[in-house]
Structure 1
Amino acid sequence: MTTGAPERATRKFSTIGVIGLGTMGAGIAEVFARNGFTVIGVELSDEAVERGREHLAHSTGRAVARGKMSEADQAKILGHISFATDLSALAEADFVIEAVIESLDIKKDLFRRLDDIVKPDAILATNTSSLPVTEIATANTRPGRVVGVHFFNPAPVQNLVEIVRTVVTEPAVLADVEGLVGTLGKNPVVCGDRAGFIANTLLFGYLNHAVSMFESKYATREDIDAAMRFGCGYPMGPLALLDLIGLDTAYEILETMYRQGRDRLHAPAPMLKQMVTAGLLGRKTGRGFYTYERADSPVVVADDKTPSADDLPKLRRTISSVGVVGTGTMAAGIVEVFAKSGFDVVYVGRSADKVEGVRATIEKSLDKAIQRGKLEESAKDEVLGRLTGTTSLDDLSGVDIVVEAIAEDLRIKSTLFSNLDEICKPGAILATTTSSLPVIALAGATSRPQDVVGMHFFNPAPIMKLVEVVSTVSTAEDVTETVRALCDKVGKVAVSCGDRSGFIVNALLFPYLNDAVKMLEAHYATADDIDTAMKQGCALPMGPFELLDVVGNDVSLAIQRELYLEFREPGFAPAPLLEHLVTAGYLGRKTQRGFRDYTTR
């Protein structure tokens, strides 16, 4: 939230005009009416006014049905709203906001007409999500009183409001609008006038990248969506979210952003245009990336792309014993996951102390689970009884699969795989948990590349549900299928993808984080406002700068560099600010300073 924003408006507003009473306009009218303002809703015709009334009655009626509002409160709220079909009804309004169709010409004409109607000191606002506010403002003879006020849908529920300043917006107007939004119980964030503002700029670049990933057949729609839900904790996968937003809306937002910024990453993916042209717009038409039982239904039904129950992965190779190489946090977590699922686990460390440390870490984890009632006391001894710690790689000779979780160093990992090739029995699967290195390079260090696969767990392994199963051009199909089935057996969600930098999650996540850093270094918005916009506007569990400081800026920079080297995409080049923070040793929470200073917290 913008720091220092006044809790109350610096000027008194009493009458609010809302032009356009579709879903968004009616929601905005409701928000102001709920907070005691007199609201005048304007529509083009009596029929449109009646639809606006129905929107308001339906929205407030749902709140009554859920016990969140009394019928008396509903009547009071609706009593604050009057309706008109002529803009002249807004003559005495203190603040007027439009929520009409996303057409620059229509909005400019509207602001031109308002010039001769509203009071000289009335503030005018546009709820546009992508059009240039400056162009809309200059249609009025007093552009300094025009500002963007972008509510998110549904307005009564969503707490974020982006306040968009232009180069001519008067400071007093900006302060007044920040105060007004604050009185509504909303969180205002302030940004400059560029297509997409904060949330859409960052969100739609990510969504467009997901479409390109699907279009190239790198991963299935189900796996792309599951990867972001289970790997990042996002409420929806990107393709399902596009279906909800509407592919035509997404296309128009991306097209507007691309025309203004010329960032190739915002150029709509060809598949998006094709689907819009074909009328596959998402939920509203009953078909988009997924198929729905009818138009406007959220219920997904099977179609020709839906995996068959007969296609569920099976253990094509026998897996009864597991080897794990490594003694760090990730390795210990993986050992625990397999042991708790009934597998005998041989884990290898470089020293007896490190081997003992893994056992101690698992014991502590099991004790915490017992204390929370998530594990029976008797199960602890069973789990620990399945563990065999050793300092000798030779003890892995009899296991059915080895999962390595050592340092992210290609030379060290390659040497390990060369050793495992000599030690492990024929048919044993050799898996790597690398998050960024080429799996094929490790396969090439062995004489059995068909048995090598990526098995990317997420940290902490006992908690995070996702595993990315990465197949190289050499990986045997029965190996990929066995590893997917094994993931299911240990309670994980497996997604399949090819062997390229970032796999699914990091390839979608880190360019978005990098874009946020670029936004910050351009002084477009503050780190706090960007984080607030993404958490409240897009329902993400963490804002980009919170997440970067948790992940570590050095780790983030390394991944971003790998993505840039792999794809040679100019937009993937690491933001200079990220490089400077790493050079300065500001790595995030682990050094007590990153994008924020944690020494005083």
Structure 2
Amino acid sequence: MTSAPAPATESAAPPVPGTTVGVVGLGTMGAGIAEVFARHGYAVVGVEQGEEPLARGRQHLEHSTGRAVQRGKITEAEAQEILGRITTTTSMADLAEASLVVEAVGESMDLKKRVFRELDGIVGPDAVLATNTSSLSVTDLSAATARPGRVVGMHFFNPAPVQDLVEVVRTVVTEGAVLERVRALVEGLGKSAVVCGDKAGFIANTLLFGYLNHAVSMYEARYASREDIDAAMRYGCGYPMGPLALLDLIGLDTAYEILETMYRQGRDRLHAPAPILKQMVTAGLLGRKTGRGFYTYEAPDSPVVVADDRTPSADQRPALRREIRLVGVVGTGTMASGIVEVFAKAGYDVLYTGRSQDKVDGVVATIARSFDKQIQRGRATEDQKAEVLGRVRGTTSLEDLADVDLVVEAIAEDLAIKSTLFRNLDEICKPGAILATTTSSLPIISMAAVTERPQDVIGMHFFNPATVMKLVEVVSTVSTDEEVTETVLAVCDRVGKTAVSCGDRAGFIVNALLFPYLNDAVKMLEAHYADADDIDTAMKLGCALPMGPFELLDVVGNDVSLAIQRELYLEFREPGFAPAPLLEHLVTAGYLGRKTGRGFRDHRRR
């Protein structure tokens, strides 16, 4: 909770261009913040502790504005005008006239407290003191001053001149007028302000680093390779970077410190840094800045990944260990129709089955409509449409699948129904045929166990829509034959998909990383820490995700999300994976998301 907003007063108005803003610390982050204010007409006083760091700070500013000129963002005259608004000094006393001071020194509580104590005796009584900390307690920092109600967090994201997000962090004693003043100031800078409470990690880092830490644990357990974990999240969720590559960019030492701070404050075991993180930091494997982290780079600070002893060689590319000519698909829904189209486009003959002739005919109609759209956009021709439809044949009899080499099941996500189907397929399909399921969360070994050929059963988790999404999770059980896994990986390559390999446990790679993150977002909302709009904005702008967690939950369906989260909790018995009560309540109320018109948001009014 925050204190009640103060009555509107003259001092509550945001600073206006021309007034003085102070920035303490002119490293990469501080220099960027100074540039942002100067770009918007503020007089900026930048403070560093000595002449050498002061010179580096000025260099940061000159390089940044120089890049903006080169890219045509500003003119040379504008760059000089921006730099002319920034005064640099080694004396904190020069901040006496500042109406706002932003601290951007090293992420050390003792150092920041010393800065705040000194500032407290220099600036005027109406000045606001802000910290750019990404994880330390703003409340603790405010307590070091005689004006705790006028202390806030202003967490800019790096690089500050480019990134649109600023997290405005309130403490339990922040004055309401000060909070509104800072929010208005941030929006006046052309940034998106999100308001949140004072908790380690705030919004973006709390949700991001829990997810990153989980990915490290997955890698540490050798559940999947670094390449497959990263590819899964890029192609399965549309993330700009995979989690391990992102950690290398952030710096493993920085990640470790943020997680440590989050864990010390919240005691959430999911924020306890994975042991391998500490080992890598101790060994100096900090990511891009040292040239080696989860990946190896051609030089320190280089983004170019080079091969190392963990890089798969070209000789390891999967090959067809079993002949695949005729592919069977069981099901006629959206996913099944997409899978039929994917295989047929790749040149495979496809035989699919449905419960009625109407449903069987519906698959051909769906594929024809899909091609019509592609033809309109110039991405396909009528001849290609005819060729693909000529490879497709439907039937209402499972018995017709007797000669398929690979059968892909894409029916209802119900273990009992799927298990019955696998018993039937086991009796019908020829020896050596591969039986695959598209389940996204059910245990594949349970389906394999009802057959007399568990070595031939595997998961092929396509993502929806199958014709568009590049990813397929190839999931092997403890019984799956290695030649079956290799064959399915090779088939995925032949149909133009990016296949990632993992073991048979709840959530596989993508859902095991995605849904705990979504669940954490629901818990954050449930705790009134921030509202859904601010949380979504923080994750889209702060982490460059294609959708915020609540947008995504309403698209996926809260019932689907709850079912997957329950599966994860039952499998791993991790208290942090327990479904958020708010999610359960929404499902009970029938607020399932877009499909019912109401979920975390009311879609009926849109």
After TM superposition, the structure 1 = structure 2 runs for residues 375-524 of structure 1, keeping only pairs within 5 Å, are 375-524=380-529
| 1:240 has 2:245 as partner | yes
Residue in structure 1 matching 2:155, options 130, 141, 150? 150
| 1:368 has 2:373 as partner | yes
Alignment gaps of 5+ in structure 1 = 1-5
Give the AA of the match of 1:564.
Y
Give the AA of the match of 2:410.
A
Corresponding residue for residue 219 of structure 1: 224
CA distance in 2, matches of 1:572, 1:288: 28
CA distance in 2, matches of 1:472, 1:556: 24
CA distance in 2, matches of 1:450, 1:367: 40
Deviation at 1:320, TM superposition (A): 1.1
| 1:103 has 2:113 as partner | no
SS at match of 1:82: strand
Corresponding residue for residue 313 of structure 1: 318
SS at match of 1:595: coil
Give the AA of the match of 2:202.
F
SS at match of 1:455: strand
After TM superposition, the structure 1 = structure 2 runs for residues 238-317 of structure 1, keeping only pairs within 5 Å, are 238-317=243-322
CA distance in 2, matches of 1:482, 1:230: 21
Residue in structure 2 matching 1:10, options 10, 13, 19? 13
CA distance in 1, matches of 2:258, 2:326: 52
CA distance in 2, matches of 1:11, 1:223: 48
SS at match of 1:49: helix
Give the AA of the match of 2:527.
A
| 1:337 has 2:351 as partner | no
Deviation at 1:67, TM superposition (A): 1.3
CA distance in 2, matches of 1:122, 1:413: 66
* TM-score normalised by structure 1 residue count: 0.98
Corresponding residue for residue 570 of structure 1: 575
CA distance in 2, matches of 1:212, 1:135: 31
Give me the CA root mean square deviation.
1.1
CA distance in 1, matches of 2:281, 2:53: 27
CA distance in 2, matches of 1:406, 1:154: 47
Work out whether residues 14 and 182 of structure 2, in 8 Å CA contact, stay in contact via their aligned partners in 1.
no
Work out whether residues 441 and 564 of structure 2, in 8 Å CA contact, stay in contact via their aligned partners in 1.
yes
CA distance in 1, matches of 2:50, 2:239: 41
Give the AA of the match of 2:277.
L
CA distance in 2, matches of 1:337, 1:304: 34
Corresponding residue for residue 359 of structure 2: 354
Give the AA of the match of 2:357.
A
Corresponding residue for residue 183 of structure 1: 188
CA distance in 1, matches of 2:287, 2:340: 42
- Which is worse superposed, 114-123 or 510-519? 114-123
SS at match of 2:585: helix
Corresponding residue for residue 325 of structure 1: 330
Deviation at 1:10, TM superposition (A): 2.6
CA distance in 1, matches of 2:14, 2:574: 48
SS at match of 1:503: coil
Alignment gaps of 5+ in structure 2 = 1-7
CA distance in 2, matches of 1:54, 1:253: 28
Give the AA of the match of 1:10.
A
CA distance in 1, matches of 2:411, 2:512: 22
Residue in structure 1 matching 2:76, options 71, 76, 82? 71
Deviation at 1:223, TM superposition (A): 0.1
Give the AA of the match of 1:563.
L
Deviation at 1:534, TM superposition (A): 0.2
- Listed one character per residue, the Cα deviations across residues 326-385 of structure 1 (whole Å, up to 9, x for unaligned) are 011000000010011111000000000000011100100010011111112210100000
Give the AA of the match of 1:138.
A
- Among all aligned residue pairs of Structure 1 and Structure 2, give the percentage whose two residues are the same amino acid: 78
Deviation at 1:63, TM superposition (A): 0.9
Deviation at 1:116, TM superposition (A): 1.2
CA distance in 1, matches of 2:14, 2:375: 58
- Listed one character per residue, the Cα deviations across residues 221-260 of structure 1 (whole Å, up to 9, x for unaligned) are 0000000000000000000000000000000000000000
SS at match of 2:603: coil
Residue in structure 1 matching 2:91, options 77, 86, 94? 86
CA distance in 1, matches of 2:45, 2:510: 47
Give the AA of the match of 1:579.
E
- Listed one character per residue, the Cα deviations across residues 470-490 of structure 1 (whole Å, up to 9, x for unaligned) are 000010001000100100100
How many aligned residue pairs are there?
A: 596
Q: Runs of 4+ in structure 1 displaced over 4 angstroms?
A: none
- Listed one character per residue, the Cα deviations across residues 139-182 of structure 1 (whole Å, up to 9, x for unaligned) are 01111110000000000010000000001111110010001101
CA distance in 2, matches of 1:367, 1:528: 38
CA distance in 1, matches of 2:40, 2:489: 53
SS at match of 1:397: helix
CA distance in 2, matches of 1:133, 1:11: 21
CA distance in 2, matches of 1:146, 1:436: 46
- Listed one character per residue, the Cα deviations across residues 265-299 of structure 1 (whole Å, up to 9, x for unaligned) are 00000000000011100000000000000100000
Work out whether residues 562 and 579 of structure 2, in 8 Å CA contact, stay in contact via their aligned partners in 1.
yes
CA distance in 2, matches of 1:58, 1:309: 41
SS at match of 2:224: coil
Corresponding residue for residue 3 of structure 1: none
CA distance in 1, matches of 2:188, 2:442: 51
Deviation at 1:11, TM superposition (A): 3.5
Give the AA of the match of 1:375.
A
Give the AA of the match of 1:498.
G
SS at match of 2:68: helix
